[in-house]
Structures are given as C-alpha cells and as structure tokens.
Amino acid sequence: MSIPVFAQSTTAAIKNYPDKPIKLVIPFPPGGATDVIGRIMAQELSKSLNQQVIPDNRAGDSGNIGADMVAKSPPDGYTLLMGALTSHAINSNLDKDKIKYNLEKDFAPVAIVGVVPLVFVVNPSVPVKNMKEFIAYAKANPGKLTFASSGAGAPQRLAMEMFRYQLGLDLLHIPYKGSGPAMTDLVGGQVLTMSETVPAALQFIQAGQLRPLAVTTAKRISQLPDVPTVTEATGLPNFDVVSMFGIEAPANTPKAIVDKLSADIKLILQRPDVQERMLAAGVYVNYLSPADSTKRIQRELSMWGKVVKDANIKAD
C-alpha cells in the first residue's frame, strides 16, 4: 500500500525540523519580563536546535496583537509565542468580546518555562507593619486606600482584586500604563499600596522606600525569605498567584514538533547557568510538559474567570 505524497512530505518535514529559522513572537515591548525570558529562550534554543530562533517583538493591546498573530500563523513550528500566560488568561476573561483568539483552542502549549512572584507592598507613610495591621487599617478607612496597577488587566491588579474581594476590603484602583509609572507614584506617595512583581519592587524594598507585607506564592521565596506568604500572613487558604510564562505554538502543530521543542526546553531549563540568568530577571524556573501546561493554563482561565465575575471587575 502506497503512502500518500502529502503524508510523506509531512513526515519528512517533521524529521528535518527545523530546517530554517524560527520566529519567537514576544507580544510586549523590549525590556520587560516577557522580553527577557524570550531572549534567553531564543538564544538557548538556537544552540540546541542548531537553527536560529529570532526574537520578534510585536507589542500592543496588552499582548493581544502578538498572540493573535501567532494564533493565525501556519502550524508548522516556525512561528511560536513567548506567552505571558497569566496576562493572556486574564485578558481572555476581562476582554472576551474584544479578543480575536481563543487561548485554549488556538494554541498548542509547548512548555511553561517559569513564574514571577508578586509581593504586596505599601508606601512607608501607611501606618502598618504587617498584613494583619493593613487589613485592620483598610477596614477602618474604607475607600481611602488607593492601590496602583500596571494596567487594568495586569496580574498585579487581579492579585489585589482577588485579595480585596476575599477579605471584603474597600480599596480604590488607580491603573497606570506600565509598572514604571506606577512604582514612581507609589514610592512618591501619590498612591499607597500595590501588588507588584518582585523584580520591579525589590530595589525599592531594599532601599527602604517600600514596605513588603506578603508574597503571593504558596511558599516563601529566596529573594525575600523574611516576607511571609499571604496565607501565612492572613490565613486565607491556597492563595497562590504568580505571573506565568510559557511557549506556545499554533493549534494543530504536529505533536512530534511540539514534543521536540518541549524536550529541548526541559534540558535548557535544567542548566544552572540558565536558572541563574532567569532568577537575575526575577524568574523562577518551573518547567511543565505540554500536557501539564495545558492543565495549568485551563486552571488560570478558570481562576481568573471566577475572580472577574465574583468581584465584578471591568476593563477600566
């Protein structure tokens, strides 16, 4: 029985993959966490695949422009997304009528590569030393505590919204266009509190310009070992919020290509020098296989969908 020509050519393409450069779309501007992670992964994949992997920044619309571009690319393994997956999951719930792609249906997860923890911080002018005092102060001063975020649909905002809702706190959201302006005003006292990524907040914490109250992870982190988790500080069960990053291919990319890429990424992330470079950018390496990445993305979509609905959050 003869094998169809198309099947033969497809098999050959997979066997020879990659035989030309690969584009890794980074859906945010240069300099941020997604860009830093993407450039590390592109550099290391170029070595392991013996083929150039080219970072391609396609910023705009909170990451949606680049994600949509990859979703509509040929499923041949030559166009990949360096996804800020927590942000994409939030946007999928917050802006579902505007987004042109489906995070579950239009992508084939290759690997989760790492997570960036968040930390709750306050301006030192707020008369609290720990999270219990913060909660008591917020309840005694409803609507007076302002919290900044790097954008309406940012993980920083949603972590605070989840926290606020679960504890019944009345806090006033002040959205900014990026972490830089938000941190400037927080340090200056124009806003009073924020949930921010550890890399963005760390230098201000170390300088005494911001006071850390709790990290949002399930366990304490090496960069702030003396800062308790939200669960430790408040008793809220299972509070675990990180900004998660991973590589995705367009849906229907051959499984053999996805598995090859994922296997290479797993080996890359096991190397101490790569882990050190990632941690220097505030990223904790956390490899997940394609199957486990799919489950984790589904969990993010479900979790943020519930927060958006329960807390009645709008994309303002």
Token pair recorded at residue 169:
């706190």
- Would you place residue 14 in the very low, low, confident or very high pLDDT band (cuts 50, 70, 90)? confident
**What are the DSSP E strand ranges found in 123-197?**
146-149, 172-175, 193-197
Give the mean model confidence (pLDDT) for residues 81-106: 91
pLDDT at 208: 96
Per-residue model confidence as pLDDT tens digits over 142-164:
999 999 988 778 899 999 999 99
Which whole number is the average pLDDT over 175-200? Answer: 91
Residue 294 to residue 312: CA distance in whole angstroms: 27
Q: What value does the mean pLDDT take over residues 77-96?
A: 93
CATH number of 117-234: 3.40.190.10
pLDDT at 82: 97
Most confident listed range (84-93, 118-127, 235-244, 276-285): 118-127
Q: What is the pLDDT of residues 191-230, one digit of tens each?
A: 999 999 998 899 999 999 999 999 999 999 999 999 999 9
| Distance of alpha carbon 110 from alpha carbon 261, whole angstroms | 7
As a whole number of angstroms, the distance between CA 193 and CA 278 comes to 27
Residue 229: what pLDDT?
97
Rounded mean pLDDT of the chain?
A: 92
Give pTM, 2 decimals: 0.87
The CA distance from 118 to 200, in Å, is 9
Would the pLDDT of 5 be above 50? no
Strands (DSSP E) found in the chain: 22-26, 53-57, 79-84, 107-122, 146-149, 172-175, 193-197, 211-215, 242-250, 284-288
What fold, for 5-115+242-310? D-Maltodextrin-Binding Protein; domain 2 (3.40.190)
What are the structural domain ranges in the chain? 5-115+242-310, 117-234
Whether residue 73 is predicted with pLDDT greater than 70 in this model: the reply is: yes
Interval 96-105: pLDDT, tens: 888 889 999 9
User: Do 5-115+242-310 and 117-234 have matching folds?
Assistant: yes
Q: What is the pLDDT of residues 250-264, one digit of tens each?
A: 999 999 999 999 999
- pLDDT tier at 7, thresholds 50, 70, 90: very low
Q: What is the structure's pLDDT at 178?
A: 78
**Ramachandran bin of 161, using left for φ above 0, alpha for ψ from -120 to 50, beta for the remaining angles:** alpha
pLDDT score, position 153: 80
Q: How far apart are CA 26 and CA 38, in angstroms?
A: 7
Output the pLDDT for position 10: 59
Distance of CA 292 to the CA centre of its chain: 16
- Residue 177 is predicted with a pLDDT of 79
